[in-house]
Structure 1
């Protein structure tokens, strides 16, 4: 039986064929990247957790939903810090961790493939912020302080984000298999370790 081909459905813009022939300015391109119908935002967030279904995976490359995800992550961490006992407070700021995380993953993802430009790479990685958000929010609301419940959420939601990311790399990386393995492992480890570090450093009460 022949193997079924995998299809990647790109969800990039809403422009006419005539508009696509015109090279947009940087300002216009940024406006386009932040132009998303409000009714589609929830479905785009759901797509960020969906592994390939029926040999299809949806890839959104806007910047609006990723920005919302990063803002929600920032607010969630600050909320968790408000319940942390004073003696356990960290001298490291949340902003430093988020910036460091971006510097560790965005350049690696961008240079490891030649299909997406820098804006689109940031968008794809930005969508993975929702895995962090759901993991931390559910841990805070339903079982604050429970490490086992946190790791269950980590495996479920962050795991789905990681699977999608690895699949995209496997399809669009032109390097040898060993390079694909190393890059995918690196991004996976950094992504998960970032969530674990943020949880114990900023969110967990002790």
Structure 2
């Protein structure tokens, strides 16, 4: 009984820790992305000897970033703000050309974002499903409907296969993917999907460990 209670408490703590893992990382990634953007703007401003720049980033029709760099009036030391007016000149020609040539790319980007969003929902529900199964197994442990068991050859093989599957998924995501490109250029939904897969994989692994190290009490 004491072992079952300890195991249940450990699983609850690990699940709660995993559930809080994704938001914290996403927030850290957002801050890191902002830092890289500001560093790039400052470098280009210095290279091109531009006195002031106003940068606005819009995602899905919403302003997600807005900041002024440098001075609107160098002599008066007037900083650039979101309300600073700039002469647009012939800049619209570049915008129009970009709209014409990249219209199909924009449509593909939106379609990709929609597909990935659906995948995020599927993965999220899968994680919730494994959490419920894990809680069900832990309840049986508390009620002594399942008991601890030693590892025989079959369970050792299952443990190895189970570990290799989860390890392969985590290695592919954490090491095999171009995270620098994804964080800067890919839709935000892709980053959310990857962290959702990581979280769900960990929950799935914990659920598998419970099944491998315990068995139904036949008494």
Question: What TM-score does the superposition give when structure 2 sets the normalisation length?
Answer: 0.27
Higher strand share: 2
Q: What is the TM-score when the length of structure 1 is the normalising length? A: 0.28
